[in-house]
Structure 1
């Protein structure tokens, strides 16, 4: 036998040995990656621990078990089908790192505990995007976490209960959707939250921005406590107990929001202001609530250019000094206003659709003041059955007889003759009106000429 041929066969067998080991490892499941039994959730913590700092960690479709702690700046991206479920204790995911990103992941907390947390953030400068969270506890909780961005997150409470409870019903205990404590300059953008305790709650935070969110079927949609300079802009609150609750706050800006259908609960309102300073409430649409806006103990606050429509009570204000109520439209409310008159408030240039007014100057402002009449409301507060007489001729007579000049009247010294919204709509069309007038005049002249020529022909 040729010696060289024998040596070649031995060398070929030696070269095949590594390949055999690789194939055997693949068959036996010994390749790199987490090991798990069939049907058992995978460990996301193992994947996080194995990833290098600053890299992108892509999470494939699957069900992963928590708790998971992220301590380094990773970009963790799911494909929308990666689901992380809770373990026995602690947050399902805790983000302690700064400069990290969490995107495209679902989080499910099955614990029946209102104090449980689906996602806890203790770092700063992170971005949370396109997450779905189902929980009975807190959806996302921040503690001393600053300059984070939360956007396109859907948080759903797993316990369903209507917001209007009877006296015999106990409210189901739930956590807040997004909860910030001592956290500053965070941006909460374009999120959807439903069936939680409070939708978005901020306590002792400064400079946070809440924009483009929707909160439904919760207690308070947007709730501020002991915070400063928060911007609540372009949000929607519907079918909650209260659309926005601003309490013990300074410098908040509540602008361009839509608060509708907070009416199922006896204490429901679109906007509630309590013990606030330097707050701006502007360009909001507040419609179909039991109470449009309730304002108590406010200073240096401006409520302007809002539209209060189809509420049972448009505005209720008490213990208010040095504030401005101007440019608002009060349309189709059962009761327009109830207020205890205080010194130093400027109340003018609002439109009240239950007031005819008298405009001698032709400037769109009534020369007669508008005075609210709270007689019906005070009467029905004492005897609710009298609500049956709303709009009755006898009730209108009694309102005129007893309801004027009381301490609870709100007085607009210079009310508008037309709603501000109608005036704004009409202004751009002024040129069109002149064109219509000119066209009508030309048609009239042409008709006259035809008539004259017709007469001469006869």
Structure 2
């Protein structure tokens, strides 16, 4: 049942070390992994009792029963949790990532869920599907079909079986070859990584440039109807205008609501500058003011007022509560997508909104049913109390590109739900509940935005997204800076100043780097029970506490010989050279605040404790260690700017696009041919 090749020297050394640690691990652990080391190897547990890694929006369809994923559960020598891996490839990748051994210890035994009696097949789209539940087989005893026509949303997969006969039968029907565990270990499945996601950031920015340029061309149409000359109202003018022409709306206040059923541009007078433009469209205080139900509509140069105050439709939400039971996801889409808005688009792809101001008691812009939109220079002024209003932009199943806009007041500045591929950049958010709030939304770019005084958080990402890039943002004076869940998320080059919490490491298999974290009550919090992300090259300065950790295994915040900069880590007569820094240790945590902490750290007792901690790293819980703290900040200019002017209005400039472009080029030189569909998607910008 050995996980590693028993003939390798490294495996022999690790197994010998594991023998000495199993007794300690058994005493320290609980629940499904509490066992006497003299007993037999731990038996498999119910997969629901394992702590899963790799769960993301990619698995939504699988979780709904349309398809399935091969699963692995692993018992580690120094971890009190059974770790569940979605996909054999994700476990294979963990065996060589350089951090799992340190944090979890040695894999005592790993089991794979086999498909012998589950009628394995493929869906119409080629996803692996099966019925019933399988049996758990030690990974080294199973047989695997690789290279078949069955895949998961992440790409190629290995399909495990307990017997050669069942594996051969599947290969005969679906192609591929049968290999043993060694054959799987030597194969690359292209599970993707946060580093690949990082490389997509500059291309996503360029994709937004292309969308904006295309939107400008789409909106630039010849004038066919002038309101007040050719038609008495905007609604009448829209009805009279031929498709692909412009309805010109001269300065004035137009007391009306309208529905746009053809592809036209509605162009008022510019409202740039102080936002008091001369063209106003004012509703009657009920419902939405402008409703768009046609593709390629453009609305420019108007101020929209007089929306209703219905933020959601409880009747629409109740419709999903049928005898089969509506899901929370469906209820949110139905409830949130049917409220009032200044501009509401339903089934209207290609919408362009430019140079528009919306004063609203509900949503500013509501997009539903594939109303993919490009939004520039939009200002939404919401309610003073967030409970009374709603979203600046609500995107339900609609990709949105937002640039150079401002959202102030109301509930969330931008709320996106199943809006994969969206871009939010160069915008300002103030006094919202959440600034940018993503749900079930992956492959997005949130970049170079300024967030101020957000009640809950500047950027929040929830509910199993994958592949998001959150970069170059500046969050100040908020409850939290960045809280992003999901998998394969890149959080980099952000500036987090004066918040209650700078950022949390809620996303799994993700990368947090080059963030400047200054003057927060708590710089960062490790939240996932089983750590699987990298936290490296960040600057922590002037925080009440640099970092904290919830329950879970030891978090190692470094990558090889490169760690983070922690103010105070190098204090003392020896300068801290070669000594790990533990921000969760009471002594280390006080180094940048209390001069007396230096003397305590230099004491023989503290040195002995350091060495003792180093012997059984995985057995510790609720702690963080940086084995290679940097002697100086990675970004001194950004640190100095944040310290000198903590109340700055705009985002701190960074060079993230050039830095990420250089990193992507270096990666391409090392491996110029992506080896899987997942890798190709990531390199191409994460677009599916």
1:207-286 residue pairs with structure 2 within 5 A?
207-241=421-455, 242-248=457-463, 249-262=465-478, 268-274=479-485, 276-286=486-496
1:172 aligns with 2:387: yes
TM-score for the superposition, normalised by structure 1 = 0.71
Match of 1:407 in 2: 621
User: Cα deviations across residues 270-329 of structure 1 (Å, max 9, x unaligned)?
Assistant: 11123x100000100011101111233x31110001100000100011224221000000
1:369 to 576, 580, 594: 580
Residue 170 of structure 2 is matched in structure 1 by: none
C-alpha distance 65-356 of structure 1, shift in aligned 2 (>3 A): same
SS at match of 2:302: strand
Structure 1 counterpart of 2:222: none
Tell me the secondary structure at the aligned position of residue 280 of structure 2: strand
2:525 maps to which of 305, 316, 320: 316
**Structure 2, gaps ≥5 residues long:** 1-227, 271-277, 312-338, 614-619, 641-688
In 1, Cα distance between equivalents of 2:418 and 2:406: 23
Shift of residue 409, structure 1, vs aligned partner? 2.3
> Can you list the C-alpha shifts for 1:218-252, whole angstroms capped at 9, x where unaligned?
00001111111010011111110211001122111
| Structure 1 position 330 matched with structure 2 position 540 | yes
* Structure 2 counterpart of 1:78: 268
Contact conserved, 1:117 with 1:137, CA < 8 A, in 2?
yes
Contact 1:358 1:367 in 2 (8 A): no
Output the CA distance in 2 between the equivalents of 1:358 and 1:377: 11
Preserved CA contact (<8 Å) 1:139 1:176: yes
Deviation for aligned residue 1:359: 12
User: Where is the strand percentage greater, Structure 1 or Structure 2?
Assistant: 1
Distance 1:134 1:101, change over 3 A: same
Paired position in structure 1 for 2:353: 128
Q: Which has the higher contact order (CA 8 A, sep 6+)?
A: 2
Q: Distance in 2 between matches of 1:210 and 1:32?
A: 39
Q: Match of 1:321, SS?
A: coil
Instruction: Give the structure 1 partner of residue 367 of structure 2.
Output: 142
Alignment partner of 1:196 out of 384, 400, 410: 410
User: What is the count of residue pairs matched by the alignment?
Assistant: 356
Equivalent residue number for residue 10 of structure 1: none
Return closer, same or farther for 1:63/1:320 CA change in 2, 3 Å cut-off.
Answer: farther
Separation of aligned partners in 2, 1:193 and 1:417: 40
Say if 2:234 is the partner of 1:61: no
CA shift, 1:212, in A, is 0.6
Give the equivalent residue in structure 2 for 1:156.
381
Please list the CA deviations of residues 21-73 of structure 1 after superposition, one character each: whole Å capped at 9, or x if unmatched: xxxxxxxxxx96555xxxxxxx3211211222211211011111232111111
Pick closer, same or farther for the CA change 1:359–1:226 going to 2, 3 Å. farther
Superposition RMSD in Å: 3.3
The one of 295, 300, 305 aligned to 1:108: 305
- Residue 147 of structure 1 and its aligned partner are, at CA, apart by 4.0
**CA distance 1:352–1:392, change in 2 (3 Å):** closer
Per the TM alignment, residue 394 of structure 1 is displaced from its structure 2 partner at its CA by: 9.7
Asked if 2 retains the 8 angstrom alpha-carbon contact of 1:213 and 1:235, the reply is yes
Could you tell me how far apart the structure 1 residues matched to 2:587 and 2:555 are? 27
After TM superposition, give the deviation of residue 374 of structure 1 in Å: 5.4
CA distance in 1, matches of 2:597, 2:538: 30
Q: Where do residues 293-312 of structure 1 align in structure 2 (5 Å cutoff)?
A: 293-296=503-506, 298-312=507-521
* Structure 1 SS opposite 2:628: coil
Cα gap change, 1:377 to 1:107, in 2 (>3 Å):
farther
CA distance in 1, matches of 2:571, 2:600: 19
TM score, norm. by length of structure 2: 0.48
Q: Report the Cα distance in structure 1 between the residues aligned to 2:519 and 2:261, rounded to whole angstroms.
A: 51
Q: Which moved more, 1:84-93 or 1:136-145?
A: 84-93
**1: distance between equivalents of 2:467 and 2:433?**
23
Deviation at 1:118, TM superposition (A): 1.1
Q: Distance in 2 between matches of 1:32 and 1:336?
A: 65
Q: Deviations over 1:83-120 (max 9, x none)?
A: 11113643100111212211101100254443421111
After alignment, is 72-81 or 308-317 more displaced? Answer: 72-81
Q: Which moved more, 1:347-356 or 1:400-409?
A: 400-409
SS in structure 2 of the partner of residue 172 of structure 1: helix
Write the distance in 1 (CA, Å) between the matches of 2:381 and 2:638: 39
Runs (5+) with no aligned partner, structure 1: 1-30, 36-42, 162-170, 263-267, 379-389, 427-458
The corresponding residue for 1:9 is: none
Q: 1:397 and 1:317, CA in 2 relative to 1: closer, same or farther beyond 3 A?
A: same
Specify the alignment match of 1:422 in structure 2: 636
- Residue 287 and residue 95 in structure 1: after superposition, are their counterparts in 2 closer, same or farther (change >3 A)? same
Equivalent-residue separation in structure 2 for 1:74 and 1:365 (angstroms): 66
In structure 2, the CA distance between the partners of 1:73 and 1:423, relative to structure 1 (3 Å rule), is closer
Give the Cα separation in 1 of the matches to 2:499 and 2:473.
14
Displacement after TM superposition at 1:369 (Å): 0.6
Structure 1 residue 407: Cα displacement = 2.9
Tell me the equivalent position of 1:182.
Answer: 397
Deviation at 1:339, TM superposition (A): 1.5
Q: Which residue of 1 aligns with 2:498?
A: 288
1:286 is paired with a residue of what secondary structure?
A: strand
1:94 paired residue among 286, 291, 299 = 291
